[in-house]
Amino acid sequence: MRTYAASQLLPHDPTNPTWALMWARRFAGDIPPWRPGSLEDEEWRGWLEATAIRVNSTTYYRPHEAATRAIESDPNRLLSLALSGVAQTYRNPLDAAAAIRRGGRWVDERIAEVVGVLPGELAPRF
């Protein structure tokens, strides 16, 4: 199943898994209309859990990090395509991931406001 509801992008709450799912999709550009290679909600939830941090039994989701890991690790992501003399070049996934990380820094800063340290300074889960 694939879901996306822009209304769930607010309020900003990194402890809310639905909020995190919507933002992961938004960061990755994985929103309707669904394209080939679009991830199922369950796949996004896996990335969200893998990139989350836990502090004092509270889970903080990092949807920008989930999006970057999904993009960076996709072995089927096209860099270019040419058919019948028409060519298209796509953005390098590492460049896209770096831009998403920069753009999503506000999520880490919001988490740091609560826990007192940026998530990247805590031990990574993988």
Chunked into runs of 10 residues, the chain (126 residues) has average pLDDT values of 96 98 97 92 98 95 97 88 90 95 97 94 64
Every domain of the chain and the residues it spans: 12-118
Tokens encoding 87: 């060519």
Angstrom distances, CA of residue 10 to CA of 14, 18, 92, 122: 11, 10, 30, 26
Confidence at residue 55, expressed as pLDDT on a 0 to 100 scale: 93
Confidence at residue 19, expressed as pLDDT on a 0 to 100 scale: 98
Confidence at residue 80, expressed as pLDDT on a 0 to 100 scale: 86
Confidence at residue 124, expressed as pLDDT on a 0 to 100 scale: 57
Confidence at residue 69, expressed as pLDDT on a 0 to 100 scale: 96
For the question of whether the overall pTM of this predicted structure is more than 0.75, the answer is: yes
Confidence at residue 37, expressed as pLDDT on a 0 to 100 scale: 86
- Burial class (CB within 10 angstroms; exposed 0-12, middle 13-18, buried 19+) of 30: buried
Tokens encoding 110: 């919001």
Chain length of the chain: 126
